[in-house]
Structure formats: C-alpha cells, structure tokens
Amino acid sequence: NNLALAEVREQRGFFNCGWAEHPVLQGQRDKEVEAMDVQIVINELNKLLALEYAGVIQNLQHSFMVQDIWREVYADYFRDNSQDCLNHAKRLGEKIVALGGGPAIQPTPIKQSTDLNEMLQQNLELERSAFSAYKAAYEKVKDDSCAS
C-alpha cells in the first residue's frame, strides 16, 4: 500500500508541473499560438477532463465504501484525492472554454470495490492512465510551448 500511495503522490506532482503554463492552456492567443491546431489541444484537454471526472467519482465512492479499521485512515485520503481531481477538472474545463471548445461531460469508466487493496489498485491504474494522458497531451504541444 505504501508503494502505491508513493507512486500516486509522485504522479500527482506531475499535474502541477510547468507544462500547464503553456500559452494555449492559459487561454492566450498570439501569433505563435495561432499556428498550433487549437482543436487538437481541446480534444486532448477533454480526454484529460474525462479522466479527472472519473477520479472525482471513483475516489469519492471509495471514501464511502472503505470499511473496518481502514475507514478512519483512508476515507479522508480518498476524499482529498477526489477534491484534487475536481480542482484539475475545473482548471481543464476553464481552459477548454477559453480556447473556444466545449468541455466533455462523460467520465471514463469508474471502478468500485469494498476491498482496500483493490481500491488502491484501481486508483493507481486511474492515476497511471491520467499520467499517460497528460504526457501525451504535453507531447502534442511541446514544440509550440514557450521556452523553458
């Protein structure tokens, strides 16, 4: 469980890295940004939004379903993760609208369990999916990003 928690925390840190400050993601539209296909960026952001929606629901559901002695320890953990996902979803939705798009309304598939180890595994899988999606989105915009 500690390894899974450490990996989730490490991947969560990626969401706060500098790529999110990309001019397109900040809603800026200058000549350099106009060259980028904004619809591709919107599509990628909507994929991320669907994953974040799933994170909100799945983590909240796990906070309700965690049982026994683990409830006191993990219910807040899952609620905090749900809130993190909600914050990411809000930011993504705002960026999508700023780019002239419409935010996705459907989450990716949501898993549930009453077994703590399975819950943590499900969340780790979701985090890995989100991490891969964020990396893929970055790969599509990195050539147009501002100088590091």
Rounded Cα distance between 73 and 116, Å, is 11
Q: In terms of residues, how long is the chain?
A: 148
Cα 140 to Cα 132: distance, rounded to the nearest angstrom: 13
3-class DSSP assignment, residue 109 = coil
Model confidence over 18-39: pLDDT tens digits?
Answer: 445 555 555 555 545 554 578 8
* Res. 55 pLDDT band, cuts 50 70 90: very high
Task: Give the Cα separation of 54 and 58 in Å (integer).
Answer: 6
Higher pLDDT: 2 or 108? It is 108
Taking alpha carbons only, the member of 28, 53, 26, 24 closest to residue 40 is: 24
61 vs 31, 56, 76, 104, 122, CA distance in Å? 45, 9, 12, 21, 12
In this prediction, residue 34 carries a pLDDT of: 56
Region of 22 please: left (phi>0), alpha (psi -120 to 50) or beta: beta
Instruction: Decide if 60 contacts 78 (C-beta within 8 A).
Output: yes
Average pLDDT value over all residues in the chain: 82
Nearest to 45 by CA among 93, 100, 1: 93
| pTM of the predicted structure, to 2 decimals | 0.75
Which candidate, 32, 16, 38, places its Cα nearest to that of 98? 38
pLDDT 10s digits, 58-91: 999 999 999 999 999 899 999 999 999 999 999 9
